[in-house]
Amino acid sequence: MLQKARYIRDLVKKLNQYRHEYYNENASSVSDAVYDHLYNELERMEKETGIVLSNSPTQTVGYKSVYGLQKVQHSIPLLSLDKTKMAHELVSFLKKREALLMLKLDGLTIKLVYENGELVEGSTRGDGHEGELVTHNINAFQNVPLSIPYKGRLVLTGEGFIHKNDFERLKGTLVGSDGKPYRNARNLASGSIRCLDASVCKQRKISFCVFNILEGMDEFKDLRDSRCRMLSVLKNYGFEVCPFIPVSPDASVENIEMQIKTLKDLAEINDIPIDGMVLRFDSFSYSESLGRTGHHYNDGIAFKFEDDTYETIFRSIEWQTGRSGEIAPVAVFDTIEIDGCDVSRASLHNLSFIEGLELHPGCRILVSKRNMIIPHVEENLDRENYQDMTPQFCPCCGQPTRTYSRAGDKGRIIKTLHCDNPECDSRILQRFVHFTEKKAMNIRGISEATLDQFIQLGALKSYQDLYHLDRYRDQIIALEGFGEKSYENMILSINRSRNTTFERYIVAMDIPLIGRTAGRLLDQYFHGNLRELEMAAVSRFDFTRIDGIGDIMSRNIQEWFRNSDHLLLWRGLQKELHFENGLDAETSGEENNMNETINNKFAGCTIVATGKLENFTRDGINDKIISLGAKPGSSVTKKTDYLICGEKAGSKLQKARELGVTVLTEQQFLEMLTA
Domains in the chain (CATH in brackets) are 2-49 (1.10.287.610), 71-304 (3.30.470.30), 309-418 (2.40.50.140), 425-493 (1.10.150.20), 502-598 (1.10.150.20), 600-674 (3.40.50.10190)
**Buried residues in 654-674 as b, exposed as e (16+ CB within 10 A):** ebbeeeebebbebeebbeeee
Q: What is the pLDDT of residue 294?
A: 67
pLDDT tens digit sequence for 31-64: 778 877 888 888 888 888 888 887 788 875 556 6
pLDDT at 334: 95
- The H or E element spanning position 509 is helix 502-509
> Closest Cα to residue 303, out of 82, 80, 78?
82
Rounded to whole angstroms, the Cα distance separating 104 from 99 reads 15
Containing 49, the helix (H) or strand (E) segment is helix 32-49
- Read off the pLDDT band of 22 (50, 70, 90): low
**How many angstroms separate the Cα of 675 from the Cα of each of 130, 600, 621, 671?**
33, 9, 19, 6
Query: What is the percentage of the chain residues whose pLDDT exceeds 70?
Result: 91
pLDDT exceeds cutoff 90 at 95: no
pLDDT (mean) for 179-201: 84
The three-class DSSP label of residue 371 is coil
End-to-end CA distance of the chain: 51
DSSP secondary structure letters along 521-561 = HHHHHTTT-HHHHHHHHHTT--GGGSTT--HHHHHHHHHHH
Q: Which of 83, 85, 123 is nearest to 301 (CA)?
A: 83
Distance CA 228, CA 234 (A): 10
Beta-bridge partners for 365: 312, 380
The pLDDT mean for the chain works out to: 86
What pairs with residue 326 in β-bridges? 418
Confidence of residue 595 (pLDDT cuts 50, 70, 90): very low
Relative to beta strand 145-147, strand 154-162 is unpaired
pTM: 0.57
Per-residue pLDDT band at 180 (split at 50, 70, 90): low
pLDDT score at 590: 39
Mean per-residue pLDDT for 638-642? 87
Element (H, E) at 84: strand 80-84
Distance CA 201, CA 359 (A): 47
With beta carbons less than 8 A apart as the criterion, state whether 296 and 79 touch: yes
d(CA 124, CA 112): 9
How far apart, in Å, are the Cα atoms of 215 and each of 144, 152, 274, 413?
18, 10, 26, 45
Q: What is the pLDDT of residue 181?
A: 72
Contact 535, 557 (CB under 8 A): no
Distance of CA 662 to the CA centre of its chain: 34
The pLDDT, as a whole number, for residue 518 is 87
Quick one: DSSP state of residue 400?
B
Q: Are 241 and 235 in contact (CB under 8 A)?
A: yes
**What pLDDT sits at residue 586?**
38
Q: What is the pLDDT of residue 1?
A: 73
Rounded mean pLDDT, 111-117: 94
Using the predicted structure, report yes or no on whether residue 565 has a pLDDT greater than 70: yes
Q: What is the pLDDT of residues 473-488, one digit of tens each?
A: 999 999 988 888 999 9
- For the stretch 241-286, pLDDT in tens is 999 999 999 999 999 999 999 999 999 999 999 989 999 999 988 9
DSSP type of residue 348: -
**Sequential DSSP letters for 99-168:** EEEEEEESSEEEEEEEETTEEEEEEE-TTSSEEEB-HHHHTTSSS-EEE-S--S-EEEEEEEEE-HHHHH
- What is the structure's pLDDT at 220? 78
pLDDT given at position 178: 60
Strand duo 374-380 + 364-370: pairing? antiparallel
Q: What is the mean pLDDT of residues 331-342?
A: 86
Q: Is the pLDDT of residue 564 over 60?
A: yes
Distance CA 357, CA 365 (A): 9
CA separation for the pair 171, 565 (Å, rounded): 55
Q: How confident is the model at residue 582 (pLDDT cuts 50, 70, 90)?
A: very low
Mean pLDDT of 320-343: 90
Q: Taking residues 229-238, report their average pLDDT.
A: 91
Residue 185 binned pLDDT confidence (cut-offs 50, 70, 90):
confident
Kindly list the distances between the CA atom of residue 549 and the CA atoms of 514, 520, 656, in Å, as whole numbers in the listed order.
9, 11, 30
Quote the pLDDT of residue 585. Answer: 39
pLDDT mean over 68-84: 87
Which residue did the predictor score with more confidence, 614 or 607? 607
Question: What's the average model confidence in pLDDT over 417-432?
Answer: 95
Averaged pLDDT, 9-27: 75
Distances (CA, A) of 276 to 206, 272, 273, 307, 349: 20, 12, 10, 11, 25
Asked if 341 and 308 count as a contact pair (C-beta separation under 8 A), the reply is no
* Whether residue 583 has pLDDT greater than 50: no
Q: How far apart are the C-alpha atoms of 277 and 419, rounded to whole Å?
A: 42
User: Which of 190-204, 311-325, 655-669 is modeled with the greatest confidence?
Assistant: 311-325
pLDDT for the residue numbered 506? 96
* Section 119-148 average pLDDT: 91
Please state, in angstroms and rounded to a whole number, the distance separating the CA atoms of residues 172 and 161: 18
The predicted structure's pLDDT at residue 591 = 39
- Phi/psi at 367 (nearest 5 deg)? -120, 140
Q: Please state, for a pLDDT cut of 90, what percent of the chain lies above it.
A: 50
- In this predicted structure, what is the pLDDT of residue 82? 83
pLDDT for residue 544 is more than 80: yes
How many other CB atoms are found less than 10 A from the CB of residue 33? 8
Of 241-245, 301-305, 327-331, 502-506, least confident by mean pLDDT is 301-305
> CA 132, 133, 139 angle in degrees (round to 5)?
135
Residue type, 489: N
* ∠ CA 437-440-446, rounded to 5°: 30
Annotated catalytic sites, by residue? 104
Residue 78, Cβ density class (10 Å: 0-12 exposed, 13-18 middle, ≥19 buried): buried
Q: Which residue did the predictor score with more confidence, 516 or 505?
A: 505
Contact 367, 343 (CB under 8 A): yes
- 596: pLDDT strictly greater than 60: no
pLDDT tens profile 365-387: 999 887 557 899 999 999 888 98
Q: Which residue has the higher pLDDT, 428 or 67?
A: 428
Predicted confidence at residue 24, as pLDDT, reads 63
| Mean pLDDT (whole number) for 395-404 | 95
